[in-house]
Amino acid sequence: MPQTSPFPYSDDNKRYHTLHYHNRRVFGGRVYKAVLDAGMTCPNLDGTCGTGGCAFCDGGSGAFTRPLPLHEQLTLEAQRIRRRDPHARIIAYFQVHTNTYAPVQTLSALYEEALAFPGVVGLSVGTRPDCLPEDVLALLSALSRRTQLTVELGLQTVHDSTAQDFGRGYPYAVFAGSFARLRALGIRTCVHLINGLPGETMEDMLETARTVGDLHPQAVKLSLLHILEGTRYADAFREGRIPPHDAGGVY
Ligand code: SF4
Domain-embedded: residue 3: no
Domain-embedded: residue 8: no
Domain-embedded: residue 71: yes
Domain-embedded: residue 46: yes
Angle between helical axes of 104-115 and 134-146 (0-180°, round to 10): 20
Length of the chain counted residue by residue: 251
DSSP 8-class letter at 164: H
Residue 4 pLDDT more than 90? Answer: no
Which atom of ligand 1 approaches the CA of 42 most closely? 4
Confidence grade of residue 10 (pLDDT, cut at 50, 70, 90): confident
Residue 137: domain span = 19-247
Confidence grade of residue 62 (pLDDT, cut at 50, 70, 90): low
Does residue 129 have its Cβ closer than 6 Å to ligand 1?
A: no
Count of CB atoms within 10 A of residue 37's CB? 21
- Among 7-21, 68-82, 109-123, 177-191, the minimum mean pLDDT is found in 7-21
Ligand 1 center–CA 105 separation, angstroms: 23
Confidence grade of residue 2 (pLDDT, cut at 50, 70, 90): low
pLDDT of residue 63: 61
Does residue 91 have its Cβ closer than 6 Å to ligand 1?
A: no
Confidence grade of residue 248 (pLDDT, cut at 50, 70, 90): very low
Does residue 126 have its Cβ closer than 6 Å to ligand 1?
A: no
Does residue 188 have its Cβ closer than 6 Å to ligand 1?
A: no
Burial state string for 229-245 with b = 16 or more CB within 10 A and e = fewer than 16: eebbbbeeeeeeebeee
Residue 186 three-state SS: coil
Mean pLDDT of the chain: 92
- Among 68-72, 76-80, 128-132, 239-243, the minimum mean pLDDT is found in 239-243
Q: Total structural domains in the chain?
A: 1
Protein residue with its CA nearest to atom 6 in ligand 1? 54
Residue ranges with strand state E in the chain: 31-36, 89-94, 120-127, 148-156, 188-195, 219-224
Ligand 1 center–CA 188 separation, angstroms: 21
Domain-embedded: residue 174: yes
Ligand 1 center–CA 59 separation, angstroms: 7
The CATH number of whichever domain residue 206 belongs to comes to: 3.20.20.70
- Among 17-26, 36-45, 104-113, the minimum mean pLDDT is found in 17-26
pLDDT of residue 246: 59
Does residue 60 have its Cβ closer than 6 Å to ligand 1?
A: yes
Domain-embedded: residue 1: no
Pocket test for ligand 1, best of 37, 40, 45 (most atoms within 8 A of CB): 45
Q: What amino acid occupies position 81?
A: I
Q: Return all residues near 220 (Cβ < 8 A) that are at least 6 apart.
A: 190, 191, 192, 193, 212
Q: Return all residues near 210 (Cβ < 8 A) that are at least 6 apart.
A: none
pLDDT of residue 243: 83
Domain-embedded: residue 170: yes
Q: Which of 156, 147, 118, 155 is nearest to 34 (CA)?
A: 118
Pocket test for ligand 1, best of 54, 95, 168, 175 (most atoms within 8 A of CB): 54
Domain-embedded: residue 122: yes
Ligand 1 center–CA 96 separation, angstroms: 9
